[in-house]
Structure 1
Amino acid sequence: MIDDADAFDDDEASGYDFGRRPLPRGLTLRALVPNAITSAALCCGLTGIRFAIGGDFRSAVLAVILAGMLDGIDGRVARAMRAQSRFGAELDSLSDAIAFGVAPALILYLWSLQQVPRFGWFAALALAVCCALRLARFNAQIDMADQPHKSAGFLTGVPAPVGAGLALMPLYLWIASGRDEFRHPVAVAIWTAVIAFLMISNTATLGWTGLRPRRTIRLEVIGLVGLVFAALLTEPWLTLVGVCAAYIAMLPVGVLRYRRFRQQRAAARDRQMSGAEAD
């Protein structure tokens, strides 16, 4: 004789929900693709650590850059395929913490910072921890409707992939020039700590949605992007240095544009309040 508890267990195991339609078995291809891309980015970051342990720092940097490229497309693929999920968001954050926090920190430590073990290790820890804190802050705010920076097309602090790229800038210079001055552990540690602070700062930085070139220069912008890609093929390390320098130069621009936006928004609010009082 089968009691009610046994019947409940059989229904649950068979995938039925009390007479309603059966639950889907496994993941659909639509949900699998973006998560697979995120997992590939995670594997690239971990592989970068493996290359650094073996002393192949060029391949280590390339692995982190490849992880950044994959991270840049997984979200767009998920939106295009309508496969966004909370699982994907959590996996993406975990992948970013390792690929853009732990991996660059260990690469820099094995390349230079281990020459001053205590001070260098704290700098590496700062980069990894600040990356994790930034991602935790992002996850905590993901469901908040009121996000002033995001609603205006800005980001809060330096994004994790960009922070990883900026932190590795001394390594680009060392590979391009071969000069050991760029490998000085104290200078690298200070640079790493500065980038770590920028990742968790409340500084308004320009997001992709905030970059809107004027119609009169759009063709020039397209040509510039093409030249940058050509430069990456011919002189990759110097080009990466130039891209990092350009991003750093744009940081004050983002701060000034956001301050102007806040002033305009405050003026509009004052006009609305004045109009309401007049009525």
Structure 2
Amino acid sequence: MEQPAEPHTNGQEETHENASTVRKDDSGRGPRLREIPLRLMIPNVITVLAICAGLTGIRLAFEGRFELAVGMVLLAAFLDGIDGRIARLLKATSKFGVQMDSLADIINFGVAPALVLYAYVLDGARSLGWIAALIYAIAAGLRLARFNVMEERPVKAQWQSEFFVGVPAPMGAMLVMLPVYLGFLGVPLEGWVAYAAGAYTVLMGYLLVSRLPIWSGKSETRIRRDLMLPVILGVVIYVALLMSFTWEVLSVTVIAYLCMLPFSARAWHRRYGTITIEDDHASP
């Protein structure tokens, strides 16, 4: 009688082992592109558009189209400001998006404003103007690096919901271009003015990396119900004036923000007894 054939278990076991090995190897590669939901890509696309706007602003500046250049830098700042909020709204935050956002920040808030400012006025100060632009760009990078490190702390101090350590990079980009706004308004930017603009640029770089307490506006301050409509009306008026008298409103906004800094430091001093944010205040 013929003996029944034995099942080829060895071959099947090898096949299963090979398949499991392949699956283990694939697990280290991360999700495939076709497996990524579309909502995860939307914030990253906005970040890429912000980078394109910032780089385009640099190109327009060296072509002499300065108003468009400043507009592109401000557009880049706007896009860079909403991508994180959209990511949280869509529940699409990711480590990849965080790295992309950091890249966009250094371009849009550091490199682009410095080069636009150099092409418009700082080149009149020759090498000193270029050094001032470099100092600001590097200061913006250091400010962003410090912010990222503080955000990664598992336990945050209570004051971090109310104060920034130094001027935030987006506002720094808006502040540093004050000489450009004034130039658009007809203020002559020749001779010694270029050197003054260089000194102002270095000062803005210092404010970025300083440990001055800057009110963030993120505290849970409640507005009285009867003041809600006046506040909304004020925002509408500000936006309308910004659209109609762009450079005048931006100049006034920058000056008002700089005047607010001593009051912010005074509020910190009343609460903690120091002028700058020291390390011993880092504990909750």
Q: Specify the TM-score bucket, using the shorter chain as the normaliser.
A: 0.7 to 0.9
> Secondary structure, in 3 states, of the residue corresponding to 2:214?
strand
In structure 2, distance between residues paired with 1:33 and 1:23? 17
In structure 2, distance between residues paired with 1:12 and 1:24? 18
Which residue matches 1:273? none
In structure 2, distance between residues paired with 1:177 and 1:191? 19
2:263 paired residue among 253, 263, 277: 253
Q: Deviations over 1:160-206 (max 9, x none)?
A: 11101100011001102253359921011011001111111111111
Q: What amino acid is aligned across from residue 233 of structure 1 in structure 2?
A: M
In structure 2, distance between residues paired with 1:5 and 1:121? 62
Which residue matches 1:44? 53
Q: Deviations over 1:111-147 (max 9, x none)?
A: 1111222211110001110011011111222221344
Aligned residues: 258
Which residue matches 1:239? 249
Classify 1:150/1:72 alpha carbon distance in 2 versus 1 (closer, same or farther; 3 Å). farther
Q: 1:28, CA displacement in angstroms? A: 1.6
Which residue matches 1:184? 193
- Whether 1:35 aligns to 2:44 is yes
Which residue matches 2:278? none
In structure 2, distance between residues paired with 1:262 and 1:44? 41
Which residue matches 1:71? 80
In structure 1, distance between residues paired with 2:242 and 2:54? 21
Q: 1:9, CA displacement in angstroms? A: 5.9
Q: TM-score, normalised by structure 2?
A: 0.82
CA contact (8 A) 1:112 1:183 kept: no
> Secondary structure, in 3 states, of the residue corresponding to 2:218?
helix
CA contact (8 A) 1:174 1:182 kept: no
Give 1 or 2: higher helix fraction.
1
In structure 1, distance between residues paired with 2:220 and 2:236? 17
- Whether 1:125 aligns to 2:137 is no
Q: 1:251, CA displacement in angstroms? A: 1.2
**Ranges in structure 1 where 5+ consecutive residues have no aligned partner:** 264-279
Pairwise CA RMSD: 2.6
Which residue matches 2:111? 102
**Ranges in structure 2 where 5+ consecutive residues have no aligned partner:** 1-10, 274-284
Pair member with larger Rg: 2
> Secondary structure, in 3 states, of the residue corresponding to 1:208?
coil
CA contact (8 A) 1:149 1:156 kept: no
In structure 2, distance between residues paired with 1:100 and 1:233? 22
Which residue matches 2:93? 84
In structure 1, distance between residues paired with 2:27 and 2:167? 47
Q: 1:105, CA displacement in angstroms? A: 0.8
In structure 2, distance between residues paired with 1:10 and 1:145? 36
Where does 1:1-279 land on structure 2 (aligned, <5 Å)? Answer: 7=19, 10-11=22-23, 25-148=34-157, 150-180=159-189, 184-210=193-219, 212=221, 214-215=223-224, 217-262=227-272
In structure 2, distance between residues paired with 1:60 and 1:228? 22
CA contact (8 A) 1:170 1:182 kept: no
In structure 1, distance between residues paired with 2:27 and 2:61? 50
CA contact (8 A) 1:130 1:200 kept: yes
Q: TM-score, normalised by structure 1?
A: 0.83
> Secondary structure, in 3 states, of the residue corresponding to 2:185?
helix
CA contact (8 A) 2:121 2:189 kept: no
Identity %: 38
